[in-house]
Structure 1
Amino acid sequence: MSNAPLIGFVGFGAMASRMGANLTKAGYRIAAYTPSGKGGDGSTLFLPSARALAAEADIVLVSVPDDEALAKALHGPEGVLAGIKPGCVLINTSTIAPETAEALDTEGTARGLHVIDAPVAGSTPEAEAGNLIVLAGGTADAIARVQKVFDTIGRLTIHAGPAGCGTKLKLVINGIMGSTLAVVAEGVAYGLAAGLDRSMLFDALDEVPVISPHHKRKLKAAKAGDFSPQFPARLMQKDMRLLLTSAARQTAPLPAMAAATQSLSLTRRRHPDADYSALFAVMESLVANTP
């Protein structure tokens, strides 16, 4: 469809590229800019700067690792905000600090933009299947403008509230996800240290209802020693850090999540680019007295 909206991706990594593929299949036009300067396989138009991309796009979707990368993508003479047109929708799917999301909404609204913080729940398998859950913060009007886009990349859109609320909900979800995996990994560590058969232990945990489907998937990978990065440890630890910082601002006590963050910090230090479930390998190495 030549008249379809052009969606410009700033950042086109594992998650964004899969979203882009689903949008292309649905008939949208897409283009991308990567801060690393790396292009794709030739099927996607890559532009030389975030500014150039924003000037062409009807919808700008930013998917970068953290607050610092977001600031570089948005600001400066070659940033998104230097090129984006009033009336455009700016969607930020990056997981960032809630106050950063709120500040972006304030700045974007002043420029005549429709800003949505829309991080997603799900990893690369869900992104590939178009089965993500979009956690949207912003006005109902802004979300309605891009609802068809959200319906293409995900199975459900949750309007979490005004600006920043999508980001806050994402931190709740990732905090629970990271903390519960840390508990499962500790259980595995005890079982191995106590002499349980490794295969039996992993297989047993795959059968019991107290383990979530997500963590059962991680257990199967850990049993095989496969920590291919669906959600890298460096990003999970970053999200836990954001959660604890925001919780401290709200005087919300999170002792269990704080403890889990220490284990995930160790995982990031040892295996930054592996999946965050490499925590299983860290714990197993501790009880087995191996590297």
Structure 2
Amino acid sequence: MPHLTPENTPRIGFIGYGAMASRMGDHLRAAGYTISAYTPSGRSPDPTVSMLATPRALAQQADAILVCVPDDEALAASMYGDNGALAGMKPGTMLLNTSSVSPEASTELFASGRKAGVIVLDSPVSGSTPEAETANLVILVGGDPENVAEAAPIFDAIGKLTLHAGPPGSGTRLKLVINGIMGAGLTTLAEAVGYGLASGLDRSTLFDALDQVAVISPHHKRKLRAAKEGDFASQFPARLMQKDMRLLLDAAAREVVPVPTLAAATQQLSLARRLSPNEDYSSLIRVMEKIVANDD
């Protein structure tokens, strides 16, 4: 199978075309690819993108499929059945699943693709909308090395680095590890901020000091700077972060790995999801500030 270059594979079909996927699509169009999409709502943030009625219809006219859906259920709904993408894909074409889903969903999709003669790579991305906007995503890929190499031009158009994590399913597992660290780090930060404010530290001094120290990641410093201004516009919504933490807890339990810290962080992020599901997951900082403010 030839490399997926714009010259010989110009048509990429997106299943899911929201905040992340539409930014990826912009970069792929700039690289010379033609983009079409399917969404359950039939709507796209970009009116210039051709929308198809079903995943199957999209797959029938695409040379490669890129999937960006929120969870296992959405993946299954778009992949399987008479109107699913697998029913319309030609043997030998490639399906790149950038969604954050369970390892079991990735394994099932790989097996189903193999039966249909379709090449499936689990390829979730590390990064939020700012990284998607600037093509600075890190793509975490599970699959055969030769297939990863074939997909490299697509990955290069949307990201700064592609990491081949191992055999099928490995990209999904690595994504859960990364998001677990990200989610637990934010909950620790939110709780520490709560203590700092309750102890009488000046709010601006506290936030500015945390922005300067090496123990906090650049990602979490970006969240802190936005939180200082009360900005919780969604770059990674709380509902998706809590979902990924839940998937990680289940995956760890299947491997009999104790993860009490991650379990506690998931409870905190469940609170953030309950209160503001579509705001950024860093809205947990606001929750802690409100708890402290009402502590007298």
What is the TM-score normalised by the length of structure 1? Answer: 0.98
C-alpha offsets along residues 10-39 of structure 1, whole Å, 9 cap, x if unaligned? 000000000000000011111101112213
Aligned-pair RMSD on alpha carbons? 1.1
Q: Please state how far the C-alpha of 1:3 moved relative to its aligned partner.
A: 5.3
| SS of the residue 1:133 aligns to | strand
Q: 1:282 aligns with which of 278, 284, 287?
A: 287
Q: Percent identity of the aligned residues?
A: 61
CA contact (8 A) 1:138 1:163 kept: yes
Specify the alignment match of 1:37 in structure 2: 42
Residue 118 of structure 2 is aligned to residue 98 of structure 1: no
For 2:58 and 2:272, the matched residues in 1 are separated by 36
1:198 lines up with 2:203 in the alignment: yes
Deviations 1:107-131 (A, max 9, x none): 1011111100000000001001001
2:236 aligned with 1:231: yes
Instruction: Tell me which amino acid in the other structure corresponds to 1:151.
Output: D
How far the C-alpha of 1:54 sits from its partner, in A, is 0.3
Q: 1:211 corresponds to which residue?
A: 216
The reply to whether residue 72 of structure 1 matches residue 77 of structure 2 is: yes
Give ranges in structure 1 of 5+ residues lacking alignment: none
Q: Tell me the distance in 1 between the aligned counterparts of 2:71 and 2:30.
A: 28
8 Å Cα contact 1:4/1:27 also seen in 2: no
Contact 1:9–1:31 (Cα < 8 Å) also in 2: yes
Q: More displaced, 276-285 or 38-47?
A: 38-47
TM-score scaled by structure 2? 0.96
Question: 1:43 and 1:138, CA in 2 relative to 1: closer, same or farther beyond 3 A?
Answer: same
Letter in 2 for 1:276: Y
Which residue of the partner structure matches residue 182 of structure 1? 187
| Structure 1 SS opposite 2:222 | helix
**Separation in 1 of the partners of 2:41 and 2:294?**
39
Change (3 A) 1:222 1:22: same
Gaps of 5+ in 2: 1-5
Decide which of 141, 147, 154 is 1:142's aligned counterpart.
147
Q: CA deviation at 1:2?
A: 7.5
Q: Which runs of 4+ in 1 moved over 2 A?
A: 1-5, 39-42
- Structural mapping, 1:141-180, within 5 Å: 141-180=146-185
Deviation at 1:5, TM superposition (A): 2.2
